[in-house]
Amino acid sequence: MSGWSEVHGLSVAEKVVLSAGAYGSPAILQRSGIGDPADLRAAGIAPLVDLPGVGRNLHDHPIVELEFAGSERLRQLLVESASARFTPEEQTLGKLRSSRATGPYDLHLFPVAAHPLSLLAGRVLLVVAAMEPRSRGWLRVAGADPEAEPVIEHGYLSDPEGSDRAVLAEGIERARELAATEPLRALIGDEIPPSLDHAIEQIHAHYYHPVGTCAMGAEADPLAVCDGAGRVRGIEGVVVADCSLMPVVPRANTNLPAVIVGERIADALLAGERGE
């Protein structure tokens, strides 16, 4: 918050920056009366600003984890590595194109094997992630209570064409090809269980990359919540600076893109303060 002023004897911020993430920022806006009027009324909140895109367009990279038995040799290698240096569970990332890719790649494949002191100790995984998800979900608050959890529907694998499911299936096939190739085969052992092909909908999970619930976009876009500088449409002095701004998730982890978003919004705010 910045630029304080006095209203009825109270200090009021002239500028508010929301950076509560893809779940927190839309929830704060909705509880403040900013969002789809029908959803707000259903939650017992009086609508103040009609912005139907708040809480919509929620998406993340869906993943499937293939688990393997591991081996004594792998355990020994992890122990030796952890005793000599920092040894993260994830050390390698493969980027692949499925038959449905629209860019350089649309799949991440990465192994997870943990040393004995890790919370994941004993698990050996090959993880498949779909990096161009077409499915979309939503978030809505259940009421004005800031302590109440919002209702979240990620909508994983819900795209009508079944593209996300098909991309994951191709990724699983490629992961199994790698798992059957030496020297990886001897290190990670057999898959447990070996038949996940027909269970993608039951075993999929998230990649910790939710975005899109306060998406920026052109003024003509009815679901655009913010402009390119993160300013919330229809209300003065409210800016969003987190991954909820991203209309489409990048084909990557969102940690570094989140830093860039914060830096760009900060630059825009400072430029405004200087009158540029």
What are the pLDDT digits (tens) for 252-276? 999 999 999 999 999 988 887 777 6
Indicate the pLDDT class of residue 161, thresholds 50, 70 and 90. very high
pLDDT grade, residue 114 (50/70/90)?
confident
Of 116-125, 185-194, 226-235, least confident by mean pLDDT is: 116-125
Task: Write down the domain spans for the chain.
Answer: 2-58+210-250, 63-134+155-203
Residues in CB range of 271: below 8 A, 6 or more apart? none
Better-scored residue on pLDDT, 39 or 92: 39
**C-alpha distances in Å from residue 191, one per residue of 25, 66, 125, 197, 245:** 40, 7, 9, 12, 39
Q: Domain 63-134+155-203 - what CATH class?
A: alpha beta
CA 50 to chain centre: 25
- Residue 14 half-sphere exposure, CB side, CA atoms within 13 Å? 8
Strands, E assignment, 103-216: 107-113, 124-130, 137-140, 151-153
Asked if residue 7 has pLDDT above 50, the reply is: no
Q: How confident is the model at residue 89 (pLDDT cuts 50, 70, 90)?
A: confident
What is the tens place of the pLDDT at every residue in 177-230? 999 999 999 999 999 876 655 567 767 889 999 999 999 999 999 999 999 999
The arithmetic mean of pLDDT across residues 39-57, rounded, is 97
Is residue 12 pLDDT above 70, yes or no? Answer: no
| Six-digit token string for 137 | 């979900």
Half-sphere exposure of 130 (CA within 13 A, CB side): 31
Among all residues, which ones are annotated catalytic?
209
pLDDT grade for 88, boundaries at 50, 70 and 90:
confident
Q: Does domain 2-58+210-250 have CATH number 3.50.50.60?
A: yes
What pLDDT shows up at residue 200? 79
Domains 2-58+210-250 and 63-134+155-203 share a fold: no
Mean pLDDT of 1-26: 72
Q: Quick check: 11 pLDDT over 60? A: no
Entry pTM: 0.90
Dihedral sign computed on CA atoms, order 58, 63, 64, 70: negative
**Residue 5: band (very low, low, confident or very high) from pLDDT cuts 50, 70, 90:** very low
